[in-house]
């Protein structure tokens, strides 16, 4: 309960009921979503509406995704597993924003490498997760097209920005049978899931219609400048 006397328990339970009604079935995802206090990732003036199924503006032209999208992408990322707890060794997240999706992913992996191109958002995400005592997410200010670790393979990759086509380098960074969950497209976007089997065969599936910010190359130091943008990738 906050200083105004508003309690979040009921509205958080309502959010879980709404996610069930919208088709989220993985109890592991629902459990994680129920434990992450979404209101702490947005402005206090919006706390009473934090658990509605809608996105909210945060900083620098970015948004926090609606609960359904966070749950759906997480569900797709782990759908080939059935164990509980931290089922992965490492996950890569691109476009971590304020850290809400990162917090949900922290329930499923020993380590989450999270990359965000806008520096102030990196600092905000670090603060948000520190306040929640989440210590297995490692944020980096970097370019989502190239600034992840190239010497390891990931158990899963989740991207919260939309390229026109998915980068082949991300597929190459997957362990066998791991999944890349990524929105793809321009004005019209689809949530794509790409995986590679032991024979190095690529499988691509398309799911929900979505609307994400474009995946831009380069970095921004202050949220107002876009550095090293390659127009041919937009």
In words, the CATH class of domain 66-233 is alpha beta
> Are 87 and 108 contacting, i.e. CB atoms less than 8 angstroms apart?
yes
Classify residue 207 as exposed, middle or buried by CB count within 10 Å of its CB (0-12, 13-18, 19+): middle
What positions carry a catalytic annotation?
A: 65
User: The sheet that has 88-94: what strands, in order across it?
Assistant: 137-141, 109-116, 88-94, 154-159, 174-185, 189-196, 202-210
What is the mean predicted confidence (pLDDT) over 45-50? 91
Residue where the block lists tokens 């490492």: 90
Q: What average pLDDT does the segment 10-20 reach? A: 95
3-state secondary structure of 109: strand
Dihedral angle sign, alpha carbons of residues 216, 221, 225, 229: negative
Q: What is the pTM of this model?
A: 0.90
- What's the sign of the alpha-carbon dihedral 146, 215, 93, 159? negative
- Predicted confidence at residue 227, as pLDDT, reads 38
Please report which confidence band the pLDDT of residue 159 belongs to, taking 50, 70 and 90 as the band edges.
very high
Q: What is the DSSP string of 117-184?
A: SBHHHHHHHHHHHHHTT--SEEEEES-TTT-S-SSS-EEEEEE-SB-SS--HHHHHTEEEEEEEEEEE
Q: Is the predicted pLDDT of residue 108 greater than 60, yes or no?
A: yes
Give tens-digit pLDDT for 173-229.
999 999 999 999 999 999 999 999 988 899 999 999 999 989 999 988 776 544 344
d(C-alpha 147, C-alpha 72), whole Å: 26
Q: Give domain limits for the chain.
A: 66-233
Q: How many other C-beta atoms are found inside a 10 Å radius of the C-beta of residue 228?
A: 11
**pLDDT above 70 for 73:** yes
Is the CB of residue 50 less than 8 Å from the CB of residue 33?
no
Cα 57 from chain centroid (whole Å): 15
Is pLDDT above 70 for 61? yes
């Amino acid at each position: 309960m906050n200083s105004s006397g508003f309690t979040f328990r009921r509205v958080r339970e309502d959010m879980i009921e709404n996610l069930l009604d919208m088709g989220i079935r993985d109890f592991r995802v629902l459990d994680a979503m129920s434990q992450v206090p979404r209101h702490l990732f947005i402005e206090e003036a919006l706390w009473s509406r934090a658990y509605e199924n809608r996105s909210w503006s945060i900083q620098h032209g970015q948004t926090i995704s609606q609960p359904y999208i966070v749950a759906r992408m997480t569900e797709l990322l782990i759908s080939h597993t059935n164990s509980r707890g931290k089922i992965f060794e490492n996950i890569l997240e691109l476009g971590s924003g304020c850290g809400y999706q990162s917090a949900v992913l922290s329930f499923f992996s020993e380590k989450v490498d999270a990359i965000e191109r806008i520096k102030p958002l990196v600092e905000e995400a670090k603060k948000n997760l520190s306040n929640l005592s989440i210590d297995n997410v490692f944020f980096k200010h970097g370019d989502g097209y190239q600034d992840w670790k190239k010497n390891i393979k990931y158990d899963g990759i989740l991207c919260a920005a939309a390229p026109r086509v998915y980068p082949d380098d991300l597929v190459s960074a997957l362990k066998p049978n791991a999944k890349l969950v990524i929105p793809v497209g321009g004005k019209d976007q689809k949530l794509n899931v790409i995986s590679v089997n032991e024979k190095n065969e690529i499988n691509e599936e398309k799911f929900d219609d979505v609307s994400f910010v474009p995946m831009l190359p380069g970095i921004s130091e202050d949220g107002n400048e876009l550095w090293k943008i390659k127009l041919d990738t937009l």
